[in-house]
Chains A and B, each alone.
Chain A
């Protein structure tokens, strides 16, 4: 069965650069969620979208923005990268907001 696809899997950026992470939800899923997981930490909720509209917002820095497109894929844009942004970024998707969500394999971002 198709799963949540995230790209790239690994990304290395320098401080102050920008990065764009992409998430392709499971087919027919209309809801996506973004989480950040620092080394040895628990995942932290960043932001979510339902039917291309922002649904909820967590601890997402102002330097980050995200959107969900008409084909339901989502992109997380990160600017002025800092060393502390180095983390695993997970996307999850679900059919509607009240059903089981499935996580992707994540994008490992390293800021040097």
Chain B
């Protein structure tokens, strides 16, 4: 399943399928991007980050793609599991060093994993 984060706040996928969550960011000067996962009643949890000098980065079951030309970021989750159910936020920052200083969060996408 695939979503455009700003226009489709809920994405429902079958357990075991791959999911793609999309994010359109606003600031062309942003140098650093993070995907966070937020479960109900909890704080955002870091998933993966990418700097503007890269267009792809892979983690465990997750891949982030960055297209600076169209200011688009996506998070791919492979073989989704029930524990992946959460709200996913992208965040951008002009500070390429990292951290959480002055992050601008995008609108979240609620990922629902169907059994």
Contact = CB atoms under 8 A, between A and B. Distances in A.
Interface string A93-104: 010111111111
Contact of B102 (A4, A56, A90): A56
Contact of A98 (B45, B99, B106): B99
B7 interface: no
A92 B105 CA distance: 14
A33 interface: yes
Interface residues of A, number: 26
Given A48-B101, A101-B99, A43 B89 contact: yes
A42 B99 contact: no
A64 interface: no
Contact of B98 (A33, A92, A98, A104): A98
B108 A42 contact: yes
A102 B101 contact: no
Interface string B81-115: 00000000100000101111111111110000000
B41 A42 contact: no
Nearest to B105: A42
B7 to A, nearest CB: 15
A48 B46 CA distance: 18
A71 B49 CA distance: 29
A65 interface: no
Given A42-B108, A56-B101, A98-B95, 15 more contacts: A31-B101, A33-B100, A35-B103, A42-B107, A45-B102, A48-B101, A48-B102, A92-B100, A97-B97, A97-B99, A101-B46, A101-B99, A103-B44, A103-B45, A104-B43
